[in-house]
């Protein structure tokens, strides 16, 4: 009987460990932040260009209204950003953009991405913000 408990308890403990999205894994999300200037009538003035030295934020798991960012990074040369050491799960990546007709003059530009494998490198692509 003691053998059964010795084998069963560690197995049940491992099965009950359901790791939430967040840090502690080997996955990574990579992307590029770009900026583009627009006129007051919302017409593009410039082509999008990479934006170094700007904050990009991440939310682990459900990004319901009012969710606070769990982490942020500054973009590097070429507007590149990366969030390393993530576990499998759903993540929301966002940046703050100017908005011509929003209260306060700013809004968030966001996109949700899924990390499906514990060592996956997710190429997020481009996140584009506006300037007026």
Decide if pLDDT at 114 tops 50: yes
* Fold of the 20-131 domain: Immunoglobulin-like (2.60.40)
For residues 2-27, give the mean pLDDT.
64
Per-residue pLDDT tens over the stretch 7-16: 544 544 444 4
Helix (H) or strand (E) holding 124: strand 121-131
**22 vs 121, which has greater pLDDT?**
121
Token pair, residue 120, equals 């996956």
Strand order in the sheet with 89-98: 71-74, 55-60, 89-98, 106-115
In whole angstroms, give the CA distance from residue 60 to residue 90: 7
Say if residue 66's pLDDT is above 90. no
* Res 10: pLDDT: 54
Question: Which segment of 16-20, 77-81, 118-122, 125-129 scores lowest on mean pLDDT?
Answer: 16-20
Question: What pLDDT digit, counting tens, does each position of 91-104 carry?
Answer: 999 999 999 889 99
Domain ranges of the chain: 20-131
Strands 23-37 and 121-131, how do they pair? parallel
pLDDT at 98: 96
pLDDT exceeds 70 at position 1: no
């Amino acid at each position: 009987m003691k053998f059964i408990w010795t084998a069963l308890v560690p197995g049940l403990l491992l099965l009950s460990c359901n790791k939430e999205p967040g840090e502690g894994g080997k996955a990574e999300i990579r992307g590029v932040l770009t900026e583009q200037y627009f006129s007051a009538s919302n017409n593009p003035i410039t082509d999008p260009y990479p934006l170094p030295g700007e904050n990009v934020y991440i939310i682990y798991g459900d990004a319901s209204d009012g969710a606070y960012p769990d982490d942020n990074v500054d973009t590097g040369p070429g507007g590149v950003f990366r969030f390393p050491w993530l576990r499998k799960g759903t993540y929301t990546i966002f940046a703050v953009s100017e908005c011509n007709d929003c209260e306060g003059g700013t809004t968030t530009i966001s996109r949700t991405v899924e990390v499906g494998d514990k060592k996956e490198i997710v190429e997020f692509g481009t996140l584009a913000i506006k300037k007026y």
